[in-house]
């Protein structure tokens, strides 16, 4: 997490985060994973913060209102279709049977993924990253996604599976984004077709409501521990006159230690190498932290910062993970998560 420069106002303003189009690049395309986050109330940063009280959501616990652009195929399936020349883009929404109980949503998501998605797309990954999002009214949804190969065909589909908290059960549905074209260049166009259907998925998920509302996306207990994130990039430059080349690399690593009494320690180490040699930078800070609905807020001695929580769970390695977007990068454009998202993994001592 890159720190925001300067100290921000200690009072958190009432803010409505309409994150209706956050998405991630997975494999060859951009996945439209959508949720709405609502931050209600103002509070001083510090241990005295009281989380919003959970309250009932909608009558019956769940509501899915389809946009007019989605036509009914049968009682379980609705479809959006967009014709472009000889190409056809579709988004299918498939309702599945409710899963009793709100306990162990990760296990239930895994089981349903293997029993439905892997069954119909045998080449789909059997291990996925379970994440969480808010739906339209602030209730939580558990979801995962993948780009899958269509059996017997060369085209790919983007499949996401959602389980929405709804009273005493989880309400599941799958979203399948597909592209149909047999002309020259169809394989190439398929790679970017999910961007075209992204707005339709965004509009669809604005009609999803669950229950209860007011629960935080990530609990304090899930964030207590040591966390690590690292990234890097390499650039190569060519002199068009002489043909000589030069290379520059940039890399950095961040570590957080979050304690149960809502204190934290932050460490940053960055390095660049190039024609000017190697350069290093180090930063350190500490202070208090809190989760406010879907925001992770740090009140440090040197700088304050806020991060939008877009997921938490257990990664493929078996370690705990959480996923954030730094303040100033809360974009609705496709690819925002892939470009700006930071995935923190549980770290040892």
Residue 181 lies in a domain: yes
* Token duo for residue 308: 């939008």
Residue 335: the pLDDT is 56
Q: Which helix (H) or strand (E) holds 144?
A: strand 140-149
Torsion (CA) 43, 45, 47, 50 in degrees, nearest 10: 20
pTM: 0.71
* Token duo for residue 274: 């190039």
Distance CA 155, CA 151 (A): 9
Residue 334 lies in a domain: no
Does the pLDDT value for residue 46 go beyond 60?
no
Same domain for 197 and 141: yes
Residue 59 lies in a domain: yes
Mean pLDDT computed over 217-233: 89
Over pLDDT 70: what percentage of the chain? 77
Residue 25 lies in a domain: yes
Same domain for 290 and 233: yes
Boundary-marking domain end, from 149, 181, 209: 209
Residue 332 lies in a domain: no
Same domain for 260 and 149: no
Boundary-marking domain end, from 154, 179, 209: 209
- Other beta carbons within 10 angstroms of residue 127's beta carbon come to 11
Of the two residues 245 and 264, the one the predictor is more confident about is 264
Residue 329 lies in a domain: no
Same domain for 225 and 205: no
CATH number of the domain residue 111 falls in: 3.40.1000
Q: Structural domain of residue 258, as residue ranges?
A: 220-310+341-346
Distance CA 135, CA 217 (A): 11
Residue 193: the pLDDT is 65
Residue 3 lies in a domain: no
Residue 167 lies in a domain: yes
Contact 164, 139 (CB under 8 A): yes
CA distances from 153 to 30, 121, 150, 182, 187 (A): 20, 11, 5, 11, 11
**Which phi and psi angles does 307 have, rounded to 5°?**
-135, 135
Domain count, the chain: 2
CATH number of the domain residue 290 falls in: 2.40.128
Across 6-10, 58-62, 234-238, which has the greatest mean pLDDT?
A: 58-62
């Amino acid at each position: 997490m890159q720190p925001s420069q300067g100290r921000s106002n200690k009072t958190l303003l009432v803010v409505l985060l309409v994150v209706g189009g956050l998405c991630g690049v997975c494999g060859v395309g951009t996945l439209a994973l959508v949720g709405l986050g609502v931050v209600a109330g103002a509070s001083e940063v510090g241990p005295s913060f009281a989380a919003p009280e959970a309250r009932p959501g909608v009558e019956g616990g769940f509501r899915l209102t389809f946009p007019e652009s989605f036509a009914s195929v049968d009682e379980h399936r609705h479809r959006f279709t967009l014709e472009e020349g000889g190409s056809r883009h579709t988004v299918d929404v498939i309702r599945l049977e409710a899963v009793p109980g709100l306990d162990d949503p990760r296990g239930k998501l895994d089981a349903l993924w293997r029993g439905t998605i892997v069954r119909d797309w045998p080449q789909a990954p059997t291990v996925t990253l379970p994440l969480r999002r808010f739906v339209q009214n602030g209730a939580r949804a558990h979801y995962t996604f993948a780009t899958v190969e269509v059996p017997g065909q060369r085209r790919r589909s983007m499949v996401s599976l959602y389980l929405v908290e709804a009273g005493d059960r989880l309400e599941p549905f799958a979203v399948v984004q597909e592209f149909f074209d047999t002309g020259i260049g169809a394989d190439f166009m398929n790679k970017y077709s999910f961007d075209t259907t992204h707005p339709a998925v965004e509009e669809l998920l604005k009609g999803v409501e669950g229950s209860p509302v007011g629960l935080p996306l990530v609990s304090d207990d899930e964030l207590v521990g040591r966390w690590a994130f690292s990234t890097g990039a390499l650039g190569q430059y060519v002199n068009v006159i002489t043909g000589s080349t030069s290379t520059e690399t940039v890399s950095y690593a961040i570590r957080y230690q979050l304690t149960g009494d809502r204190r934290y320690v932050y460490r940053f180490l960055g390095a660049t190498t190039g024609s000017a040699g190697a350069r290093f930078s180090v930063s350190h800070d500490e202070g208090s932290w809190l989760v406010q609905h879907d925001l992770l807020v740090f009140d440090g001695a040197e700088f304050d910062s806020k991060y939008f929580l877009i997921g938490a769970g257990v990664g493929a390695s078996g370690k705990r993970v959480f996923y954030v977007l730094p303040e100033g990068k809360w974009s609705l454009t496709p690819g925002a998560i892939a470009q700006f998202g930071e995935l923190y993994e549980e770290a040892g001592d």
